[in-house]
Homo-oligomer: A and B are copies of this chain.
C-alpha cells in the first residue's frame, strides 16, 4: 500500500510540509501509545495484533464440514457483516456470497426466495447473541429452512462470544462454532473469524490476507514520513482540524465499493464523538465524476477526497470505430480510459485547490486487501489518538438499540419514552 499526500499541500483546507514536521512528534507519541496498547492486549488496540493472533487453522477446520457449498449467507449487522462482505465483494469466487444485515421484510423475503436453501452455509454472527436484527433474521432463516425440509443444523456456522444464546445453540445442536475475538470491536474485526470465515468458505487464501495484514503491522513506525497508514491518519486528522469535515472516499474499482462502506463504518463510528469526527461520503470512480465531482470541486471547502485504486487491472481493448469524434477511443482500452479518468479527477480537484489523497495497491487480491484493511484501521486508531477521542466505543448506537427494544416490549427503557415526544409538523395530505 502506498499513500500519496502531495495533493494536500497548499490546498484549501490544506497542509504544508512544516505542518507535517510539527505533527510528526505527536505521531511518534501516539505510536508509542498504540504500541503499548497492542503489547498489553488492551481493548481495541488488540485489533491491530489480529494478523498475528488470528488462527487460520481453526477457521479452516470450522468450515471444513461444509463441502463446496453453492453459496454462503452472512446473518449479522454492522461490524459483524461488513468485513466479510468487503472481502466477498472484492474477490471473485464460484461460491456466491449474500448478506442479511437489515430487517426490511420485503428484502428478506426476496433474498430467501432466491437462495438455494439446501446448499447454502449460514454464518450467524453476533458477539452477544442478542442483537435484535441478527437474531430475528436468523429465526426467520431457520424457519424457512425447516419449511423447505432442510436440516438447518447441518447448514449453520456460529460466530459468537464465549457464552450467550448463540454459544448455547451451538453446543446444544453440535454446530461448528468460532470465537469472536475478545478486545476487538466489530468494526475492527475483519481480520478475525468475523471476516475470514466467509472468505474461507468461498475458497479464498486467508493466510495471504493475514500476511498482508502483517506487512501493514511491520510498516507502522513512529513517523508520518515512513508509515503509509499513519500518513493517511495524520493527514486526514490535520485536514479535519482545518475544516475538512467530510472525507469523500472514492475507490476506482467496482470490486472495492463495499470496502468504501466498510471504511465509512470504521471512520464514522470510531471518530464521531465529542463533536469531532469526519463524515465519510462514499463515492465510486469513475461513475460519480458524473454525480459528485461538481460539488467536490465547486462546493463548500469542507472536504477532502480520498482516491483509492489498484494499479494493475485487466485491459479490455475498445473496438475501433468510425463513429464521429470517437476514433481516439479505438486502439485504447477500458483500463486506459479508467486511468485517464482517475488522473483527470485528481488534477481537477488539485487545480481547484481541493485536497485529495491517493491510496494505491498493486491489485485487488488477498494480500493487498489484508494490508489495505489493516492500514485503514491503523490510520483510524492514529486519528483517534491525535483527536483524543475514545476510538473503540459507540455510546450513541446503544441509545437507539434501547429505544427500539423498549418500543417492542422488550423491557422498560427511558429511551423508548422519548419517541412519544416527537414533534410533528407535517406538510402534505
Contacts and interface: CB of A to CB of B under 8 A. Distances in A.
Interface in A262-294: 264-265, 268-269, 271-277, 279-282, 284-294
A315 interface: yes
17 contacts: A9-B423, A102-B285, A103-B337, A103-B338, A105-B316, A105-B333, A226-B427, A265-B291, A279-B299, A294-B397, A302-B302, A328-B410, A332-B408, A337-B408, A343-B407, A344-B419, A347-B403
A4 interface: yes
A293 B398 CA distance: 10
A286 B131 CA distance: 13
Contacts of A255: 104, 106-107
A296 interface: yes
A142 B4 contact: no
A254 B404 contact: no
A279 B276 contact: no
A421 interface: yes
A183 B107 CA distance: 37
Interface in A100-147: 101-110, 129-130, 132-133, 135-137, 139-140, 142-143
Taken together, the copies of this chain in the complex come to 2
A246 B427 contact: no
A253 B107 CA distance: 8
A173 to B, nearest CB: 13
B268 A291 contact: yes
B314 A224 contact: no
A395 interface: yes
Interface residues of A, number: 150
Given A106-B314, A302-B302, A328-B409, 8 more contacts: A2-B428, A130-B324, A228-B428, A272-B299, A279-B281, A297-B396, A343-B407, A344-B419
Interface in A372-429: 394-397, 399-401, 403-405, 407-411, 415-416, 418-419, 421-429
A157 interface: no
A95 to B, nearest CB: 15
A237 to B, nearest CB: 14
A19 interface: no
A340 interface: yes
Contacts of A40: none
A143 to B, nearest CB: 5
B273 A314 contact: no
A140 B299 CA distance: 35
A269 B245 contact: no
Given A110-B92, A268-B295, A394-B294, A328 B399 contact: no
A350 interface: yes
A345 interface: yes
Contacts of A106: 253-255, 313-314, 364
Contact of A408 (B272, B295, B329): B329
Contact of A316 (B108, B165, B292, B416): B108
Contacts of A261: 291
